[in-house]
Structure 1
Amino acid sequence: MSARTRPGPPGRVRRPADWLELVRAPAALTVLGDAVAGAAAAGRPLRGRRLALPLASATLYWSGMALNDWADREVDTAERPERPVPSGRITPGAALAGAALLSGAGLALAAFAGGSDALRVAVPLTAAIWAYDTVLKPTRAAPLGMAACRALDVLLGAGAGRGPSARTPALAMAAHTFGVTALSRGEVHGGRRADVRVALTTTLLSAALACGGPASSARHRTASVLCALVHTGTTATAQLAAARARPTADGPVEAAAVRTATVAGIHGMVPLQAALAARSGSLGAAALVLGVLPLVRRLSSVRSPT
């Protein structure tokens, strides 16, 4: 990804801006709706202490971003030297410590919000995040690992006791995440057309899952379909553009087209969450989630979420 800011000299620290860049702070807005969708499917509105569940999701997301940059520090030195760790603005040790502290904070928020019922999901979610960043990311299992993280994040909103009732939202978010992750592997050097096709397929599958199945009423169904259309419009348009992009000299799809489609896929998670919440009967929650999308887009123009 092209640099948004000029890297500072080694050893230079500009807190808190460097930390906000490290954890891709604004991108956490795209995970808040996971817990909302899970809670709506389980019939457990986010009230009282349970309002902290989306904050737990965001904090765990930030921990994963910090851990990602720690794990990728050698690769980023060559491919993305503008990032805080390779540029020297944050040391590798500090990034790792930050990831650990944010993981602990996320678990604490989950415990505060839902007690042992929430921790029974938050602990496996935290383990999945660490496994993805430290083990799975360079392997072919990376998309599956990230999809598991997203599914668990949805289940966090439902709670372990009512997890089965949120299986469809968890599967929808996992399917979309699988495709976005597969596509994102070509952000730097260009992507495979097969990955573009996988991403487009999972976008359509996730939209179908969001709209299919029983709905609380006709108006909830209508709202779900409208949100799903925003999801596919946001995501599939960029994916189709990537599929049609002229390959580079050595064959891959142009990296710029892959990056654009990846960012669009991340943005598309917001209306997908809204569609899932609407179908489950939470129109107010769906409207709040969908209302985040313009802010996500605006912030992404300043700092990339990838």
Structure 2
Amino acid sequence: MGAATAVLIRPRAALVLGRVSNLPTVLSNALAGIALTGIGLAGAAWPPAVLIGAAAALALLYVGGMYLNDAFDAEVDARERPARPIPRGDAARGAVFAAGFALVGAGVALAAVPGPAALLCGALLAGAILLYDAVHKHTAAAPAIMGLCRLLAYLTAAAMAGGDALGTALLLGGGGLFCHVVGLTYAAKQEAYDRLDNAWPLAVLAVPLAGALWAAMAAAGAAPLALVLWAALAATTAWAVRRLFRRAPGDVPRAVAALIAAIALYDAVLIAAAGQPLPALIAALCFPLTLALQRIVPGT
């Protein structure tokens, strides 16, 4: 698996393994999960500890899951993606497994602090992450499992904030996020080959666009900020889909990276539609921040 077998995990490899450039979208997920419970409406302040705790728990689960993704995929990556840290020798597989499980465990422990409901949601999220990492190379259902992970991120943040993790707005918003992630994960599965064999599954990307537009239009005063953010989401999705259809060299990874960053825009639309402009702007800023960080650390 590489020449540098004495190395546990090199510093840059730690960042690459965790896909840390995508962490702003985890923050936007936490913001949306809390906002869709109604917390913070009518000018009420968000307790900082609530947002910090939820974002930290989701970040630990995300990074831990990405570590385990590479650890489980080490043999496949040695053939298809030899530049990944483990086959390259920049990280020992055993150390990556240990770090991944430790981070996921820490994320669940942090999620458990507010109470049983948050613990349940965090545990379900951890289970979905482990399921994806273990079987995603062997099942066509992998995109759906990944979509479930992001849906459960909403629910975990909501439960940690003391909100109803089964609220209608939360489940509808999470359903749209599920569809967005299913579409981008389908495309990402073709990334190693830099091609897209079938384009029709990308139709699922229309679901979050339609749902987000409905939320923006249904908001009081048609929520101008929500509509502007929706336009940015639609433009980004269209740009990415065009490149997936074009299939020129490098188009698939660029499109996937853009769709990952667009998660923050989707979150921002829902937050703005919920009448919370400041958190919506913070979530929206996570979009360019993710794109900028992806230039330093690959997001896929």
Report the TM-score when normalising by structure 1: 0.87
Indicate the structure whose relative CO is greater, using CA pairs within 8 Å and at least 6 residues apart. 2
Give yes or no for contact 1:204–1:232 (8 Å, CA) kept in 2.
no
Give yes or no for contact 1:122–1:156 (8 Å, CA) kept in 2.
yes
Unaligned runs of 5+ in 2: 41-45
Larger deviation: 167-176 or 224-233?
224-233
How is 1:77-226 mapped onto 2 (pairs within 5 angstroms)?
77-112=78-113, 114-159=114-159, 161-165=164-168, 166-194=170-198, 196-199=199-202, 201-213=203-215, 215-218=218-221, 221-226=223-228
* 1:150-186 deviation digits (Å, cap 9, x = unpaired): 1111111222734223011101110100000111111
* 1:244-289 deviation digits (Å, cap 9, x = unpaired): 33xxxxxxxx562211111111111111110011111111100011
**Please, which of 28, 35, 39 is the counterpart of residue 33 of structure 1?**
28
Residue 245 of structure 2 corresponds to 243
Counterpart Cα distance in 2 of 1:31 and 1:76: 25
Q: Are residue 303 (structure 1) and residue 291 (structure 2) matched?
A: no
Shift of 1:115: 2.1
Task: Classify the secondary structure of the residue corresponding to 2:87.
Answer: coil
Letter in 2 for 1:65: M
Letter in 1 for 2:16: E
Counterpart Cα distance in 1 of 2:137 and 2:226: 33
Q: Percent identity?
A: 31
Residue 43 of structure 2 corresponds to none
Counterpart Cα distance in 2 of 1:94 and 1:119: 27
Shift of 1:134: 0.4
Q: Are residue 285 (structure 1) and residue 279 (structure 2) matched?
A: yes
Counterpart Cα distance in 2 of 1:198 and 1:222: 31
Counterpart Cα distance in 1 of 2:34 and 2:212: 15
Shift of 1:8: 7.5
Counterpart Cα distance in 1 of 2:8 and 2:140: 35
Cα 1:15–1:191 change in 2 (3 A) is closer
Q: Which runs of 4+ in 1 moved over 6 A?
A: none
Larger deviation: 160-169 or 103-112?
160-169
Counterpart Cα distance in 2 of 1:127 and 1:39: 22
Give yes or no for contact 2:9–2:96 (8 Å, CA) kept in 1.
no
RMSD in angstroms over aligned alpha carbons? 2.0
Give yes or no for contact 2:125–2:149 (8 Å, CA) kept in 1.
yes
Counterpart Cα distance in 2 of 1:17 and 1:122: 28
Unaligned runs of 5+ in 1: 1-6, 246-253
Letter in 1 for 2:166: G
Cα 1:136–1:142 change in 2 (3 A) is same
Shift of 1:40: 1.0
**Please, which of 241, 248, 254 is the counterpart of residue 260 of structure 1?**
254
Counterpart Cα distance in 2 of 1:230 and 1:8: 45
